[in-house]
């Protein structure tokens, strides 16, 4: 069973993401900030991290993504950045930080499921 870590400082958004994914065969964990997400990722080694870009604290989404890439390298989790910021420079910053995909809020449940399926599709 694939493991997904949902990282967002808003509990309502974490709940919506969980509800979207709970019909699939995933083990889901949540974290409210970058620091707890890094600890959870280190302990649990998720296959995918759904990561809000704008979060308070020492580790926003971009910094957390960089940390995940430094810590786990290419064997680390896939990372999908989730953000209300959708300009080209925002997307580029997410991809340069190491994200595998970047979804602009609001997105549909089908977009999210499709994005995840694409990341895990055989090359």
- Its sign, for the CA torsion 66, 48, 123, 101, is negative
DSSP state of 25: S
Q: Which two tokens stand for residue 80?
A: 């999908």
For 3, the 3-state DSSP assignment is strand
Structural domains of the chain sorted by starting position, each given as residue range(s) with its CATH number in brackets: 2-118 (3.40.50.2300)
Taken as a whole, the chain contains a residue count of 123
What is the pLDDT confidence band of residue 74, given thresholds at 50, 70 and 90?
A: confident
Instruction: Give per-residue pLDDT as tens, 10-59.
Output: 999 999 999 999 888 899 999 999 999 999 999 999 999 999 999 988 99
């Amino acid at each position: 069973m694939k493991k997904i870590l949902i990282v967002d400082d808003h509990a309502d958004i974490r709940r919506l993401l969980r509800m979207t994914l709970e019909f699939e065969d995933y083990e889901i964990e949540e974290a409210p900030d970058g620091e707890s997400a890094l600890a959870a990722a280190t302990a649990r080694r998720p296959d995918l991290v759904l990561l809000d870009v704008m979060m308070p604290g020492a580790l926003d989404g971009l910094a957390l993504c960089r940390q995940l890439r430094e810590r786990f390298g290419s064997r680390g989790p896939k990372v999908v950045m989730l953000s209300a910021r959708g300009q080209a420079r925002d997307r580029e910053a997410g991809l340069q930080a190491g994200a595998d995909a970047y979804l602009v809020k609001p997105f549909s449940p089908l977009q999210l499921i499709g994005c995840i399926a694409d990341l895990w599709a055989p090359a």
